[in-house]
Structures are given as structure tokens and as C-alpha cells.
């Protein structure tokens, strides 16, 4: 009887960890525009911002805002930290992410400043 309970307990733990290891796809972030430029947070480039010219539909530049320090032994997808919001204030693009970090990107110089959080994010 103890053996059966042990096996059931072990299977429950394995089932629970496998079911919850995957995460849902990130929410699409609404782009923001200024003049002919549109600033986007692509889902396939975690921590990056792209600037697109809306007249030519060409990407002007891409800037890494923060990097993620991945822990070995854990699935990458559960450690990803996605951008959640973009907003413009004068010549600054304010970028927020799932870790509640905030960054300011100077649209003239492309310099990134940390407002809250860290330049290197990690899953905890």
C-alpha cells in the first residue's frame, strides 16, 4: 500500500511540474507612433525595440533594451521576460516589462537608462 501511495505521489509531482512548465504566449504590445516612426516590441526578439518608418514600411533600427540571464537546467520559455508596455514622452520611449522594470530609451541617441529594475533581468 505504501508503494502505491509513493508511486501516485511521484506521478502527481511529475505531472504537475510538466503541465505548468510551459507558459502562454506573451500579450502583443501595442506599438506607439510619432510622426512617420512607429516603435514596436517584437515578440521574437525579447527585450528589443524596433523603429519602423510607416511610409516605407522598413525597419530603421533595432535596440536591445535589456538582456536576460538564463539559468541552466530550466526551460528558456519560462524564463523569458517580455515587454508589456510602450509609451512616448517627448523624445523618450518608456519601456516596461513583466518584471515591473522600466527603461527610458532616448530616441535621438538610442541611449538606454534604467528607471526601475536592472539592465540584466533574471527569472526568479
Residue 60: what pLDDT? Answer: 97
Q: For 33-75, write each residue's pLDDT tens digit.
A: 999 999 999 988 889 999 999 999 999 999 999 988 887 877 7
The CA R_g of the chain, rounded to the nearest whole Å, is 20
Q: What are the tens digits of pLDDT across the range 83-115? A: 999 999 989 999 999 999 999 999 999 999 999
Alpha-carbon distance of 111 to 91, in angstroms, equals 11
Kindly tell me if the per-residue pLDDT of 12 is higher than 80: no
| Global pTM value | 0.75
Q: Which of helix, strand or coil describes residue 84? A: strand
Delineate the domains of the chain, giving CATH numbers in brackets.
23-122 (2.40.10.480)
Alpha-carbon span 8 to 70, nearest angstrom? 32
User: From edge to edge, which strands make up the β-sheet containing 112-116?
Assistant: 83-89, 92-97, 102-106, 112-116
| Predicted pLDDT of residue 80 | 83
Amino acid at each position: 500500500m505504501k508503494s502505491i501511495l509513493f508511486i501516485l505521489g511521484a506521478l502527481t509531482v511529475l505531472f504537475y511540474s510538466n503541465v505548468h512548465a510551459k507558459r502562454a504566449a506573451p500579450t502583443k504590445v501595442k506599438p506607439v507612433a510619432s510622426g512617420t516612426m512607429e516603435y514596436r516590441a517584437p515578440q521574437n526578439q525579447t527585450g528589443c525595440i524596433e523603429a519602423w518608418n510607416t511610409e516605407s514600411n522598413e525597419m530603421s533600427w533595432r535596440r536591445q533594451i535589456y538582456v536576460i540571464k538564463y539559468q541552466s537546467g530550466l526551460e528558456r520559455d519560462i524564463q523569458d521576460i517580455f515587454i508589456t508596455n510602450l509609451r512616448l514622452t517627448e523624445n523618450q520611449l518608456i519601456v516596461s516589462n513583466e518584471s515591473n522594470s522600466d527603461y527610458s530609451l532616448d530616441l535621438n541617441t538610442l541611449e538606454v537608462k534604467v528607471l526601475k529594475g536592472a539592465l540584466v533581468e533574471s527569472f526568479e
